[in-house]
Amino acid sequence: MNDTTTSASMRSGRSGRHLVNIGHLVMGVAFIALTVVWALIVNDVVEGDDIRFLLPAPWALAGLAGLLALITSDRRKHGQREVGWVGEGRAPGDPSGSTTTATMEP
């Protein structure tokens, strides 16, 4: 790893983690849970009336995972909010701080 990359990531406050795509997370949890339910049914671990209680479980788990991911990602996003006004006479996006004057011609 390069020193420039390390110092740039440290200055920006990021630790190398990336944002979670909540849709992918929900569908991944649902797929894994459906696979587990399918394996339990095929191997005769669950039979009869127990199956009807087990079938909605993947959807409930996927929904719970989505809600938890939404809550935790929302906290991180709103914790880094930057507010304030751009200085008067300063061009937006101008890091030098030079002032600009605008005149209107009739």
Q: Output phi, psi for 90, to 5 deg.
A: -100, 135
Query: Please, are residues 99 and 90 in contact by the beta-carbon 8 Å criterion?
Result: yes
* Separation between Cα atoms, residue 8 and residue 66, nearest integer Å: 31
Q: What is the pLDDT of residue 66?
A: 92
pLDDT tier at 64, thresholds 50, 70, 90: very high
Q: What is the pTM of this model?
A: 0.54
- The percent of residues in the chain predicted with pLDDT above 70, rounded, is 53
pLDDT at 94 over 80: no
Dump pLDDT digits (tens) for 18-51: 777 889 999 999 999 999 999 999 999 988 888 8
Domain ranges of the chain: 19-76
3-class DSSP state of 99: strand
Q: Which residue has the higher pLDDT, 63 or 50?
A: 63
